[in-house]
Structure 1
Amino acid sequence: MGNKRELISNGNPMEAIVGFSRAVRVGSYIAVGGTAPVDQDGKTVGIGDVFLQTKQCFEIIKFALEDAGSGLQDIVRTRVILTDIDNWKQAIEARKIYCQEARPVDTIMAINRFVNPEWLVEIEVDAVVADQPVA
């Protein structure tokens, strides 16, 4: 694969307007940007529920990683970004479902707000595809 730059889209029309990608893969490294808890229509999933919102973020991340030829097993870092740090336990309970096998390093932080006030959490991940033969 070399150091080819591959842009991963999830069809969000803002990607082209603003100039961002859901994920970018360069060689074996994949960066997945801040992922919000939205459905395919851009509507917030799990309003008021950090656990459900975190799960939705990870579902989107899972599909982005798969589109990049990877998967949850390749995650090496997660960043859990909350609007209320007191919600960290519910977010981590949801994170655990997706990261139990890979056991990546993690950062949990709080900010004042997201662009959509319904969002209680966003997730970022970095992944590195392990060198192994493709079966």
Structure 2
Amino acid sequence: MVERMKVSSGTVWEERVGYSRAVRAGDLVFVSGTTATDDQGNVVGRGDPEAQARFIIEKIKRALEAAGASLSDVVRTRVYVTNADDWEAVGRAHAAYFGETRPANTLVEVSRLVGPDYLVEIEADAVIGSGGARA
């Protein structure tokens, strides 16, 4: 039986909606869709998709670390944007954190996210111990 570990960021939404910031099952870690929301519930980087993406990846990093993983263990990211024209700005942020790791990635435009000021949402999957592996 694979042990399951839930990581919480402590927001009221996790309990209210029924999700975890991240879930670790064995060596796999799945980080939920993450927005640019600070600990006080404020949107970070209003109008700036690159700033939002950077903030989001920092949040993902903290969730991974709480589950015993790191950004270098990320094998897949999914990026949701409200404007596909923002792909390059978001891509710069993604490359700044994942340029060496180069996980599989999908970027899609969606009609909207949970609030009008959110431009980007990112989720990540990681395999603990896979960081640094070369093909």
Q: TM-score per shorter chain, which class?
A: over 0.9
Question: How many percent identity over aligned positions?
Answer: 44
Q: 1:103 to 1:131 in 2, by over 3 A?
A: closer
- Residue 115 of structure 1 deviates from its aligned partner by 1.5
Per the alignment, residue 49 of structure 1 pairs with 48
TM-score, normalised to structure 2, is 0.93
Q: 2:5 aligns to what?
A: 6
CA displacement at 1:131 relative to structure 2: 6.9
What is the one-letter code of the residue matched to 2:124? V
Query: SS of 2:117's equivalent?
Result: coil
Counterpart in 1 of 2:74?
75
Instruction: Give RMSD over aligned pairs.
Output: 1.3
Cα distance in 2 for partners of 1:21, 1:49 equals 27
Task: Name the aligned partner's letter for residue 66 of structure 1.
Answer: E
Q: Distance in 1 between matches of 2:106 and 2:42?
A: 26
- Residue of structure 2 equivalent to 1:99: 98
Give the letter for the 2:29 counterpart. I
List gaps (5 residues or longer) in structure 1.
Answer: none
Q: Which runs of 5+ in 2 are unaligned?
A: none
Match of residue 127 from structure 1: 126
Q: Give how far 1:101 is off.
A: 2.2
Q: Deviations over 1:59-80 (max 9, x none)?
A: 1000000000010010000111
Aligned-pair CA distance for 1:42: 1.2
Deviation at 1:97, TM superposition (A): 1.1
Q: TM-score normalised to the size of structure 1? A: 0.93
**Deviation, structure 1 residue 122:** 0.2
Amino acid at match of 2:25: V
Answer yes or no: is the 8 Å Cα contact 2:73–2:130 preserved in 1: no
In structure 2, the residue corresponding to 1:64 is in which secondary structure? helix
Supply the AA of the counterpart residue of 2:90.
A
Deviations 1:70-101 (A, max 9, x none): 10010000111000001000000001111112
Structure 1 residue 102: Cα displacement: 1.2
- C-alpha distance in structure 2 between counterparts of 1:19 and 1:129, whole Å: 25
Give the secondary-structure state (helix, strand or coil) at the position aligned to 1:108: strand
